[in-house]
Amino acid sequence: MILGLQKIGVCHNRSGAPGSSIFSIYATVKVLLKPPFFLILAFLLLPVNISAVPEVLLVLGAPGTEGYEKKFSSWASSWKSACAKGGALYSEISLPKENKSSRDQLEEWIFTRVSGESALWIILVGHGTFDGRNARFNLRGPDVSASDFAGWIKPVNRPLILVNTASSSAPFISALSGEDRVIVTATRSGSEQNFARFGEFLSLNIGSHEADLDKDGQTSVLEAFLVSARQVADFYKTEGRLATEHPLLDDNGDRLGTPPDWFRGIRPVKRASDGSPDGYRAHQFHLVLGELEKRIPAKLRQQRDTLELEIYRLRDRKKELPENKYYIELEEILRKISQIYEQADSS
């Protein structure tokens, strides 16, 4: 979405080193942060862009008891409502159908969607198990393992968001992490085998403006993850109970995952020693787009997102670069982003 001063890390005092273009940078950022009224009006008059609509599959696992069946059905309803609100294509697998098990239906759904411009979302709602080697998601009929998923999504060449809200879900990160993938789990290890409440909070936050931490009119996967993780922690604290679930998010392909307390607001402040921070890509996926955002053509949004990632990586390297070089490179990227918004206005 539109970048702000704090979001890209240029909101601070500096004297203006010789040869730098700080005033030009500031002017560019101001355009991105607060578009003129006529530009906002022009966006609002554009037809809503309906290309690259996300495809969402919710897999409702074996509930085990009537109580859990009611809970999981409620979570599924919340996801379905969010998809309807955002115009996403929603599918659901819960029971064997036409002599096909839930596992077979899941494999077929992925196989028929390996290519495309839009993102694939796969949401697992139910229980999970871990035997010390293999993590599984419990289905009615044959279960599905993390290694099963790894094989099925290998040919997928489009963005993928996979959310496993089950217990013992953490091993799905090491199995599925990869380029242009966002993997979210309810636990930080396979040994966290108790019922996980994270999925309930996430189902409510993903389509709610209440979880819009940066106030850009839409809630990203990262924001929904952070707010839901905080609510999980608050639940156990209020109940005076030892927390038995600790959500993780991975979007940099390092197979490690990042806990919510490694973020300050939406900005990562810690990272694994050998990798880039998690969270940047996850903040670019939204199930319900803001009014301005959904009027930007999908291809331009993709170009803008690529440039935003360049800014994040440049910001991470700031201490390694001469100050002048940092601001020159930053200005170049910001100019490209402003051009994208101009193209969107004229398209």
Closest CA to 280 of 247, 238, 308: 308
> CATH code at 104?
3.40.50.1460
Query: What confidence score (pLDDT) does residue 42 get?
Result: 45
Q: Quick one: average pLDDT of 148-174?
A: 98
Give the tokens for residue 152.
């099925």
Percent of the chain with pLDDT over 70: 84
Whether residue 256 is contained in a domain is answered as yes
If one compares 107 and 38, the residue with the highest pLDDT of the two is 107
Lowest mean pLDDT among 26-35, 267-276, 312-321: 26-35
Q: Quick one: average pLDDT of 61-72?
A: 98
Whether residue 152 is contained in a domain is answered as yes
Per-residue pLDDT for 339 more than 90?
Answer: yes
Radius of gyration of the chain (CA): 21
- Amino acid code (one letter) for 244: T
Per-residue confidence band for 272, with pLDDT thresholds at 50, 70 and 90: confident
Query: What confidence score (pLDDT) does residue 273 get?
Result: 67
pLDDT 10s digits, 80-136: 999 999 999 999 999 999 899 999 999 999 999 999 989 999 999 999 999 999 999
How much is the mean pLDDT over the chain?
87
Whether residue 15 is contained in a domain is answered as no
Q: How many domains does the chain have?
A: 1
Per-residue pLDDT for 12 more than 50?
Answer: no
Query: What confidence score (pLDDT) does residue 346 get?
Result: 78
| pTM of the predicted structure, to 2 decimals | 0.86
Give the tokens for residue 224.
């929904």
Whether residue 114 is contained in a domain is answered as yes
Run of H or E including 125: strand 120-125
Give the tokens for residue 267.
């900005």
Percent of the chain with pLDDT over 90: 78
pLDDT 10s digits, 276-323: 899 999 999 999 999 989 889 999 999 999 999 999 999 999 999 999
Q: What 3-state class would DSSP assign to 247? A: coil
Query: What confidence score (pLDDT) does residue 107 get?
Result: 98
If one compares 261 and 28, the residue with the highest pLDDT of the two is 261
Per-residue pLDDT for 53 more than 50?
Answer: yes
- For 229-243, give the DSSP string: HHHHHHHHHHHT---
Whether residue 307 is contained in a domain is answered as no
Q: Quick one: average pLDDT of 4-9?
A: 38
Query: Domain containing 112: what range?
Result: 55-284
Whether residue 176 is contained in a domain is answered as yes
If one compares 28 and 251, the residue with the highest pLDDT of the two is 251
* DSSP classification of residue 286: B
Q: Quick one: average pLDDT of 54-78?
A: 98
CA atoms of 290 and 82, how far apart (whole Å): 13
Whether residue 98 is contained in a domain is answered as yes
Query: What confidence score (pLDDT) does residue 11 get?
Result: 37
Q: Quick one: average pLDDT of 130-149?
A: 97
If one compares 15 and 122, the residue with the highest pLDDT of the two is 122
Angle separating helix axes 198-205 and 221-239, nearest 10 degrees: 140
- Amino acid code (one letter) for 245: E
Per-residue confidence band for 198, with pLDDT thresholds at 50, 70 and 90: very high
- For 148-204, give the DSSP string: HHHHHHTT--S-EEEEE-STT-THHHHHH--TTEEEEES-SSTT--SPP-HHHHHHH
Query: What confidence score (pLDDT) does residue 271 get?
Result: 81
Q: Are 278 and 268 in contact (CB under 8 A)?
A: yes
Closest CA to 198 of 230, 228, 239, 168: 228
Q: Which residue has the tokens 């440039």?
A: 307
Half-sphere exposure in the Cβ direction for 68 (13 Å, CA)? 16
Query: What confidence score (pLDDT) does residue 52 get?
Result: 76
- For 52-107, give the DSSP string: S--EEEEEE---SSHHHHHHHHHHHHHHHHHHHHHT-EEEEE-S-BTTB-HHHHHH
Closest CA to 300 of 34, 52, 37, 4: 52
Per-residue confidence band for 2, with pLDDT thresholds at 50, 70 and 90: very low
Long-range (24+ apart) CB contacts under 8 A made by 300-305 are 300/340, 300/343, 300/344, 300/347, 301/52, 303/340, 304/337, 304/340, 304/341
Chain centroid, CA 264 distance in Å? 17
Per-residue confidence band for 344, with pLDDT thresholds at 50, 70 and 90: confident
